[in-house]
Structure 1
Amino acid sequence: MSSFLFLLLCTGIGAIWSANIPPLSKKVLMISMDGFRWDYLDMVPETPHIKQMAGNGVQLKYVNNTFITKTFPTHYAIATGLWEETHGIVGNSMYDPLFNETFRMGNTETKWWNEGEPIWITAKKQNLKTGTYFWPGSEVKIQGMYPDIWKRYNGSVPFRDRVDTVVDWFQNGHVDLATLYFNEPDHTGHLFGPFSDEIKAKVREMDSLLGYLINKLNEAGVLSSLNIILTSDHGMTEVNKTTRIIYLDAYVNPDDIYLIPESGPVANILPKPGRENIVYNDLRGKHSKMTVYRKEDIPEHFHYKNNRRVMPIVAIAADGWMIEYNSSSMGKWDPRGNHGYDNRLLDMRPIFVAQGPNFKDNYKTNSINSVDIYPMLCALLGIQPAPHNGTLDNSAEFLDIPGLVSGGSQKGEITLMALVMAIIRHLSG
C-alpha cells in the first residue's frame, strides 16, 4: 500500500505541479474605464501600458455586454453576474410601478438594488476584505452590509488620487478585492465622438494612468501577487441630434403617454391606462430607424423583458440614432457620441485586459459575456459564487488556477487530491 501511495503521490501531485500553475493569490483589483470601446486600442496604437499588460497576461477581442448598454445596468451586471432583467437595474433612469417612484443615478436606497449579490458582498460574506473606490451599487447597503471600505461617488477626485488610495489598501493589507472606477473615456466620447482627436488623446491619457498604477503597485511590492482586470461597461458610437433623431410626438398623442423614464438609444414608454394598444400601433413601423416592441415580445437574446421596471412598450433606435419625446425633452445636450444601443453591435462592446499570477501569459482569445466576469472573480478569490447567469466555462481557458480544469470544473484535480488524502487517512488510521 505504501508503494502505491508513493507512486500515486509522484504521478498525481507531480502532474499538478508540472503544469507550473501558481497558487491562488486571492487578491483582485478590478478596474473600469467607462466607455472604453473595444477597438480604441486599434485606433490609438500609442498605448504601451495596456499593450504591455496584455503581453503579460490576457487580452480579449471584446466583452459581450448586457442590454441596455448603459453605465449603471451594465456595471451592475459585471458585479453580480446577472442579466439586467434579473438584477433589476434596467436603466440609468427607470420607473418602478410597485414603488410608484422613478430611479435616477445616485439613488442608494436598498429597495432598488436588492435583486442581486455583488462581488464585494459575496467576498465579504466569506471572510475576505473588500474595498470599492466607486462602482454603481457599491454605496448601497445590500443584505445589511456595505463593502469594508467604500467611497461615495465624487467625480472631481483626481484619478491619480484614486490610484494612490487603492494601492495603499493592498500594500497595508486592508483589502483582498478592490474595484476602481474612472468616468473616462466615456465623458470625452460623449462630448466629441469615438473617432475624434480628443478621444484619442484621452485614451493615451488613460493608458498613462494605467502605467502609473502598475508602477505604484510594483513600488509597493504587491504587483506580483495581484490579479488585475481592466474592463469597461460599454463602447460608444457617433450621433448627431440634428440629423439622426426621432421625436415620438410626431406619431403619438401626448395625452396617451403617462411617463417615459428614459430615452435616447432606447425609450421605455409607459402609456396611460387603456392606451397601450393605441400607443403601440401609433409607433410601430413609423420610422425605419426605430424598432418598437411590446414588452412581452422583446427578443429573448436581450434578457430584458422579465422585470416590472421594463415598461409595456420599448422602442430601440438603430445604431447612431436617438429617440426623444420632443425637441424640448432633449434640452441643450448636444452629444457627438452615445451608447445604450443593441448590445450585439460592435460599437457597443468594451475592452478586457488582465494580468496576474492566475492569468496565463500573452494569451489572446475572442470574448466572454459581462455576466461571466462575476464567476471568474469568485474563482480568482477562491470563494463560492451566489446564483448568477454567467459561467466559468468561458474564462477557464485563460486562467491558471489550482484545481481548475477544462470546462470550468474543479472536479478532476480536486477528486485526485481527495483520493490522496483518503489514502493518507487510511494509512494513518
Structure 2
Amino acid sequence: MRRPAVLVAVVLAALLAPGSGAPVHRRGLPPGPRNKLLLVSFDGFRWDYDQDVDTPHLDAMAREGVKARYMTPAFITLTSPCHFTLVTGKYVENHGVVHNMFYNTSSKVKLPYHATLGVQRWWDNGSLPIWITAQRQGLRTGSFFYPGGNVTYQGMAPTLSRKEGVLHDYGNESEWRANVDTVMAWLTREDLHLVTLYFGEPDSTGHRYGPESPQRKQMVAQVDRTVGYLRDSIERHNLSASLNLIITSDHGMRTVQKAASDLVELHKIPDFTFQDVEFELLDYGPNGMLLPKEGRLEQVLAALQHAHPRLHVYRKEDFPRAFRYAGHPRITPLLMYSDPGYVIHGRYSVQFNNGEHGFDNEDMDMKTIFRAVGPSFRAGLEAEPFESVHVYELMCQLLDIEPEANDGHPGVLRPLLRSGSTPSSWPPPVMGMLGVALLLAKAV
C-alpha cells in the first residue's frame, strides 16, 4: 500500500473509531475575560418580516455583524420543541420535547402551553440545555421567559429565571423595555455569563391577524424598536466589547386557508370514527397524534391514510425520516400533518387563527431569522441558510464550554466568527477529517 493510501486508512479509521464524534473541549482562547452571551428570541418572526417593514436596528445589526439569509427550524415547527432545539443542539426526536402541550396517553391528561412550561418531567427528559452545561463548567446563567428555562435538570436550575404568567400580555412594549433592563442587571450586577430572553411576539399577532396583516407589520416595527433599545442598553452598560448578542426565533408563520372548500376535518371523514381512538392530540394547527384502541390501528390507518389529499397520515415507524421527529417514545403509533396553509380539525371545526405554524420546516414560510453582533462575530457577513440545530454548538464556542452530545456540528457556523475568536482543536471536526481523507484519496 502506498503512503497516501495508508494516510487515507488512518483518517478513515479515526472517523469510524468509537467516540470519534464526542465533543472536544475547546480551550486555548486568547487571554483575558470570557465574553458573555445574550440569546434573544422573538417568537414567530418569519425570515422575510424585515422586507415589508422599515427595520433600521435589525439592518444595523446586519451591517455591523452577521445576518443569515434565513434559518431552518426543527420539525415540529412549534414554540417549545424549536426553542429546546436551540439550547440543546438536538433534533426533536432526540430531545423529547415533542409538542407545546404536555400529554399522557394513559391518564389522558393534556395541559396547555403555559401550564406545560412548569412541568419538570416534560423538559427534564435526559437532555441537558446549555444553561446547565455552562453552570457545570463554572458559569452563571439566566433565563427570562425562555421556554424550558424555569425548571430543574438533573437537580440543577439556571442561576436566575423568570416565568411568564398565564395571562401575560405579550405585546406590552413598556414591559419589553423593563425586561431588557432586568437582563442588563443580570449581566452586570449579577455577573451572569449567559442569558436567554424570550418575547412572545410577533407570533401572537401573526396568529390573530395573519402574517400579511398591517397589525403584524406594526408589531415587527415594535420588535425593531426593542432591538434598538437593547443595543443602546448594551452600550450604556459598557458591554459592547464583551457581550455577544444573537437575535433569532423559533419558526415562521403562514396564512391559514380558512375559506377553502377542502378543509381537513376528521369528523367528516366517512370511514373514520373517534370510537376507535383511545387518545388524540388534535386541533393544534397542522399536526395530530392518535393512539388507536387495541386492535384498531390498521382500521384507523386505512380510514385516514388516503381520505384527504391535503392530509398525510403515517404509522410512527413510517413517518418521513427527514423530519427527525417520530423516533421518540412520546410519539403515538399514528401521527399526521397537513399541507402548508391547512390545519387539522378534530372532533369539531374549532380553529379560528388567521396565521399558523407547525407546518413542514422546508416550507419557506416556516423559515426564520438569525442576526448576531459582538466582539466574536465578523462584520457585514451574510451567511448562507443553515439549520437551527447548529446554533447550540456556536453558543458553546462563544462561551468556551464543552458541549453535550448533540446533532449539530461545530464547523457549520464557525465561519461566522472572527479569526482567533475560538480555539483551534485536534482532532478537527468530522467534515474536516472527511475533507482531508478525500484530498488524500485523490493522490492514491
Q: Normalised by the size of structure 1, how large is the TM-score? A: 0.86
Structure 2 residue corresponding to 1:410, chosen from 425, 428, 434: 425
2:418 aligned to which of 376, 385, 400: 400
Q: 2:274 aligns to what? A: 254
Distance in structure 1 (CA, Å) of the matches to 2:212 and 2:105 = 40
How many angstroms apart in 2 are the aligned matches of 1:345 and 1:378?
29
How far does the alpha carbon of each residue in 1:259-310 deviate from its partner, in whole angstroms, 9 at most, with x for none? 2224421111121111111111101111111111111001111001111211
Q: Can you list the C-alpha shifts for 1:341-392, whole angstroms capped at 9, x where unaligned?
A: 1111110011000000001011001122111111111100000001111111
CA contact (8 A) 1:267 1:324 kept: no
Tell me the secondary structure at the aligned position of residue 59 of structure 1: strand
Tell whether 2:217 aligns with 1:187: no
In the other structure, the counterpart of 2:431 is: none
CA contact (8 A) 1:229 1:355 kept: yes
Residue 127 of structure 1 pairs with residue 127 of structure 2:
no
**Greater CA drift, 114-123 or 205-214:** 114-123
1:311 is aligned with what amino acid? Answer: T
| CA shift in 2, pair 1:259/1:49, >3 Å | same
- Indicate if the aligned counterparts of 1:32 and 1:182 stay in contact, CA closer than 8 A: yes
Alpha-carbon shift at residue 99 of structure 1 (Å): 7.3
Q: Name the counterpart of 1:324.
A: 345
- Deviation, 1:239, is 0.4
Q: Give me the whole-angstrom Cα distance separating, in 2, the residues matched to 1:48 and 1:224.
A: 22
Give the CA deviation at 1:134. 1.2
1:227-256 C-alpha deviation (Å, 9 max, x unpaired) = 000000000000033436311122211211
In structure 2, the partner of 1:18 is none
Which residue of the partner structure matches residue 30 of structure 1?
39
Shift of 1:410: 2.5
SS in structure 1 of the partner of residue 385 of structure 2: strand
The answer to whether the 8 A contact 2:240-2:375 is kept is no
Q: Distance in 2 between matches of 1:100 and 1:198?
A: 37
Output the amino acid matched with 1:261.
L
Contact between 1:25 and 1:226, CA under 8 Å: does it hold in 2? no
1:272 to 293, 316, 329: 293
* Alignment partner of 1:85 is 2:97: no
Question: Is 2:366 aligned against 1:356?
Answer: no
Q: Aligned-residue CA RMSD in angstroms?
A: 2.1
1:112-133 deviations in whole A, cap 9, x for unaligned?
2222111111111111010111
Could you tell me how far 1:412 is from its partner in structure 2?
Answer: 8.4
CA–CA separation in structure 1 for the residues paired with 2:227 and 2:312: 40
AA matched with 1:313: L
- Partner deviation per Cα, 1:120-178 (whole Å, 9 max, x = no partner): 11111111010111111111111101100001223347111111101111222420000
CA distance in structure 1 between the partners assigned to 2:393 and 2:244 by the alignment: 15
Structure 2: any 5+ residue segments left out of the alignment? 1-29, 429-444
* SS across alignment from 1:393: coil
Question: Structure 1: how far apart are the matches of 2:131 and 2:298?
Answer: 43
Q: Structure 1 CA distance, aligned partners of 2:65 and 2:370?
A: 11
Match in the other structure for 1:234: 251
Of residues 379, 383, 394, the one that matches 2:397 is 379
Report if aligned partners of 1:403, 1:411 keep a CA contact under 8 Å in 2.
Answer: no
2:122 paired residue number: 112
Alignment match of 1:200 (pick from 217, 225, 245): 217
Match of 1:281 in 2: 302
SS in 2 for 1:40: coil
Classify 1:375/1:292 alpha carbon distance in 2 versus 1 (closer, same or farther; 3 Å): same
Change (3 A) 1:294 1:24: farther
For 1:60 and 1:76, how far apart are their aligned partners in 2? 20
Evaluate the alpha carbon distance shift between residue 277 and residue 137 of structure 1 in structure 2; reply closer, same or farther with a 3 A threshold: same
Aligned residues: 387
Instruction: Please give the per-residue CA displacement for 1:84-128, whole angstroms capped at 9, x wherever unaligned.
Output: 111111111253447764454232233222221111111111110
3-state SS of 1:402 partner: coil
Q: What is the correspondence of 1:306-317 to structure 2 with a 5 Å cutoff?
A: 306-317=327-338
Give the C-alpha shift of residue 25 in structure 1. 4.0
Instruction: Give per-residue Cα distances to partners, 1:187-215, cap 9 Å, x unaligned.
Output: 11001111111111110110001001111
Taking the aligned partners of 2:49 and 2:223, their CA distance within structure 1 comes to 11
Asked if the contact 2:67–2:371 (Cα under 8 Å) also holds between the matched residues in 1, the reply is: yes
Q: Return the alpha-carbon distance in structure 2 between the equivalents of residues 373 and 24 of structure 1.
A: 23
CA 404–226 in structure 1, closer or farther in 2 if over 3 Å, else same:
closer
Match of 1:369 in 2: 387
Q: Which residue of 2 aligns with 1:142?
A: 153
Asked if the contact 2:102–2:122 (Cα under 8 Å) also holds between the matched residues in 1, the reply is no
Residue matched to 2:74: 66
Name the structure 2 match of 1:418.
none
Q: CA deviation at 1:403?
A: 6.9
- TM-superposed deviation, 1:337: 0.3
Secondary structure of the corresponding residue to residue 291 of structure 2: strand
Following superposition, the deviation at residue 404 of structure 1 comes to 4.1
Unaligned runs of 5+ in 1: 1-20, 414-429
Match of 2:406 among 388, 397, 408: 388
Distance 2:252 2:35 in 1: 30
Report the AA paired with residue 125 of structure 1: R
Cα distance change, pair 272–98 in 1 and its aligned pair in 2 (3 A): closer
TM-score (normalised: structure 2): 0.83
Conserved in 2, the CA contact under 8 Å of 1:22 and 1:400?
Answer: no
Alignment of 1:164 onto 2:175: no
